[in-house]
Amino acid sequence: MAKSSAYTAKAPQPDGRIVYTEEENLVWRDLYARQEANVRRWSAPEYNVGFDRLALPADRVPQCTDVSRTLTALTGWKVEPVPALIGFSKFFGMLANRTFPAASFIRSRKDFDYIKEPDIFHEIFGHTPLLTDERFARFSEMIGKAGERLEARDYSWLIRLYWFTIEFGLTHANGGYKALGSGLASSPTELPYSVESPDAQRRAFDVIDILRTPYRIDIHQPVYFVLDKVDDLFKAAERDLAADIRTAQSRGLFAPLYPVKEDA
């Protein structure tokens, strides 16, 4: 996660709704229009089923209250606006309570193609479709609960499991690779890259290997982990992840596959 943001959170009104300007709604409209065909083509069936269930507005920034109403009826999750950046402890605590923390601002035109930190397009368009599916809803909750039981020094180990699945995971579907991750669903360039580029490594899903794999948040990922079938992810949520972290720590991190700058 980024340590600083150029953006300021937009605070909800007393009724929970956030006022977006005309220009902000137009940015959403244009991001949505560009990315809809891409997720139909490259994202996993599970993502697209959720995307259809949500029926997000195409022409304006969705309200967290409206998305929450749909999610709560399906899986008991809700989306809560938060400041642009929150710590891991708060993040895990919210997931454990089936509450998805959403950065409420939307990127400006100058960051239209790429933004390092999550904005509401990433949070809603990227994340909420999978949260309509009880299996991903449960997995996300279990990550939160596992995080709550860890010491702060171990947070960065557990977050890799979230990063390489919910954010940037791939799966096999329809005879090829498909994107599961929200960071892929909200990125016009990394979505096709993750599925098709010969430059990316694609490794079989393995919890210990994932925990040992460092990443950078500000580049296309050099390595993705591929679920053979989506149900393999849900088995991972039943593991003793604290024990897995100790195993991973005893074996050590893999050497980074990118120029070293930062580890999130």
Binding stretches for Fe ion (CB under 5 A): 118, 182
Instruction: Report in angstroms how near the CB of residue 54 gets to Fe ion at its nearest.
Output: 16
Q: Which is closer to Fe ion, CB of 214 or CB of 242?
A: 214
Instruction: Report in angstroms how near the CB of residue 103 gets to Fe ion at its nearest.
Output: 9
Q: Which is closer to Fe ion, CB of 70 or CB of 182?
A: 182
Q: Which is closer to Fe ion, CB of 10 or CB of 127?
A: 127
- Amino acid residing at 205: F
CB 3 within 8 A of CB 116: no
Q: Which is closer to Fe ion, CB of 85 or CB of 242?
A: 85
Instruction: Report in angstroms how near the CB of residue 33 gets to Fe ion at its nearest.
Output: 21
Q: Which is closer to Fe ion, CB of 21 or CB of 95?
A: 95
Q: For helices 22-42 and 45-54, what crossing angle results, to 10°?
A: 140
CB 126 within 8 A of CB 79: no
**Contacting residues for 144 by C-beta, under 8 A, at least 6 apart:** 91, 92, 93, 94, 95, 96, 97
CB 261 within 8 A of CB 216: yes
CA neighbor of 81 nearest in space, from 148, 161, 19, 166: 19
Helix spans in the chain (H): 22-42, 45-54, 64-75, 88-96, 120, 134-148, 155-162, 182-185, 190-196, 207-211, 231-236, 241-251
Instruction: Report in angstroms how near the CB of residue 122 gets to Fe ion at its nearest.
Output: 6
User: C-alpha angle with apex 175: 170 to 176, nearest 5 degrees?
Assistant: 35
Q: Which is closer to Fe ion, CB of 113 or CB of 246?
A: 113
Instruction: Report in angstroms how near the CB of residue 80 gets to Fe ion at its nearest.
Output: 14
Instruction: Report in angstroms how near the CB of residue 180 gets to Fe ion at its nearest.
Output: 12
Structure letter (DSSP) for residue 178: E
